[in-house]
Chain A
Amino acid sequence: MRALVIDDSRAMRRIVGTILKDFGYEVREAGDGRQALDVLEEGFTPDLCCIDWNMPVMDGLQFVMAVRANPAHRQVTLMMVTTESETGQIVKALAAGAHEYLIKPFTADAMRDKLALLGLLPEEVSA
């Protein structure tokens, strides 16, 4: 499994990346939506993108819309990982094409539950 972690905070990229690596993921990072699109264009094909909302240059919602507008990336699962916890924001992200929503702060167990829901938890971890 491959994941792209998109967050302007290196600390948060490290936290999310460490959890995903513990679950067996190969992880790449991007500091904003624009950088993340560049990673995808380079040919990295993640199973999962974990996306912060509030970022400079290109925010998470804009990234979701850009990915959804490109048929080449239709297989990737998009999960918002953000402090934006109001219902209206969650609805907006899901309407734009995000598959799941994880609110900061979160635990490794919460991440595991979301991945299990998405069918993206490796068998050796879920067993």
Chain B
Amino acid sequence: MTLSHAQPITELLDVETVQSIADEVWPSLVGDGEAFVPVPVAPPAEVVSAWVTISGPWNGAVVLTCAPATAAALTENVLMTRPPTVVDDEDVADALGELANVLGGNIKSVLPGPSALGLPQIGTAPPTGRLDDVRRLTGQWRGQSLTISVQGVTVAPHTERNEVPQQ
């Protein structure tokens, strides 16, 4: 394991850039007219997270967190399902993971490179590293709380992928 001595994410990425990426991702994946609104609402008691790791000069993860019900609603939109079709846990993992993947890929593109993106994961968000190595955008979609967290780790993340890192 390698200790990270990179610049903190707060010196590399501002919240406006995260918002602009979310502004592109939501209409494309969640649906026409859909938006990540950067107005915080009360956080849910129970949450689920999807994330991708970034490995390079900066090491960390891009984490999307929301309530399970919000994750299911996002999934219905991403998959364009309509009642009576019910999304299952696998659907939610796939759709929320792809949202994190597209957010993470676009955030990676504005960070110093070369960097590699890990495959999407879902569950309990990974722990953050240094307290100053977190850039967090809190907002809502359809009135439900959402958080996009770009957070460093103290060790280089394990990337589950078979891709050759960028040269």
Instruction: Give residues in A with beta carbon < 8 Å to B.
Output: 8-12, 14-15, 18, 53-59, 61-62, 82-86, 88-89, 92, 104-107
Instruction: Please tell me if the beta carbons of B160 and A56 are within 8 angstroms of each other in the complex.
Output: yes
Instruction: Please tell me if the beta carbons of B166 and A105 are within 8 angstroms of each other in the complex.
Output: no
A-B contact pairs, 21 of them (CB 8 A): A8-B119, A9-B94, A9-B120, A11-B79, A11-B98, A14-B79, A14-B80, A53-B163, A54-B117, A54-B163, A55-B119, A56-B160, A56-B162, A58-B162, A83-B101, A83-B108, A84-B117, A86-B113, A88-B114, A105-B28, A105-B29
Whole-angstrom CA separation of A84 from B54 in the bound complex: 12
Question: Which residue of B80, B94, B102, B167 contacts A105 across the interface (Cβ within 8 Å)?
Answer: B102
If A61-B164, A86-B109 touch, whether A54 touches B101 (CB-CB below 8 Å) is yes
Instruction: Please tell me if the beta carbons of B102 and A88 are within 8 angstroms of each other in the complex.
Output: no
Is B161 in contact with chain A by the CB < 8 A criterion? yes
Instruction: Please tell me if the beta carbons of B167 and A11 are within 8 angstroms of each other in the complex.
Output: no
Residue among B91, B98, B102, B166 with the highest chain A CB neighbour number at 10 A:
B98
Instruction: Please tell me if the beta carbons of A18 and B102 are within 8 angstroms of each other in the complex.
Output: no
Instruction: Please tell me if the beta carbons of A56 and B119 are within 8 angstroms of each other in the complex.
Output: yes
Whole-angstrom CA separation of A15 from B102 in the bound complex: 13
If A9-B94, A58-B162 touch, whether A85 touches B167 (CB-CB below 8 Å) is no
Whole-angstrom CA separation of A107 from B27 in the bound complex: 8
Name the distance in Å between A3's Cβ and chain B's nearest Cβ.
18
Among residues of A, the one whose C-beta sits closest to the C-beta of B117 is A54
Name the distance in Å between A120's Cβ and chain B's nearest Cβ.
21
Whole-angstrom CA separation of A86 from B166 in the bound complex: 10
Q: What does DSSP make chain B's interface, helix, strand, loop or mixed?
A: helix
Whole-angstrom CA separation of A28 from B29 in the bound complex: 20
Among residues of A, the one whose C-beta sits closest to the C-beta of B23 is A105
Instruction: Please tell me if the beta carbons of A57 and B94 are within 8 angstroms of each other in the complex.
Output: no
Name the distance in Å between B13's Cβ and chain A's nearest Cβ.
15
Interface residues on B, range: 20 to 34
Question: Which residue of B27, B75, B104, B164 contacts A83 across the interface (Cβ within 8 Å)?
Answer: B104
Whole-angstrom CA separation of A62 from B23 in the bound complex: 32
Whole-angstrom CA separation of A63 from B36 in the bound complex: 34
Chain B residues contacting A56 (CB-CB under 8 Å) are 119, 160-162
Chain B residues contacting A61 (CB-CB under 8 Å) are 163-164
Instruction: Please tell me if the beta carbons of B106 and A11 are within 8 angstroms of each other in the complex.
Output: no
Chain A residues contacting B29 (CB-CB under 8 Å) are 11, 15, 105
Whole-angstrom CA separation of A55 from B119 in the bound complex: 7
Interface residues of B in 113-167 (CB under 8 A from A): 113-114, 117, 119-120, 160-164, 166-167
Instruction: Please tell me if the beta carbons of B162 and A89 are within 8 angstroms of each other in the complex.
Output: no
- Beyond A11-B94, A55-B119, A83-B106, 18 additional pairs, beta carbon < 8 A: A9-B94, A9-B95, A11-B29, A11-B91, A12-B98, A14-B79, A54-B119, A54-B161, A56-B119, A56-B160, A59-B162, A83-B117, A84-B105, A86-B108, A88-B166, A89-B166, A104-B105, A105-B27
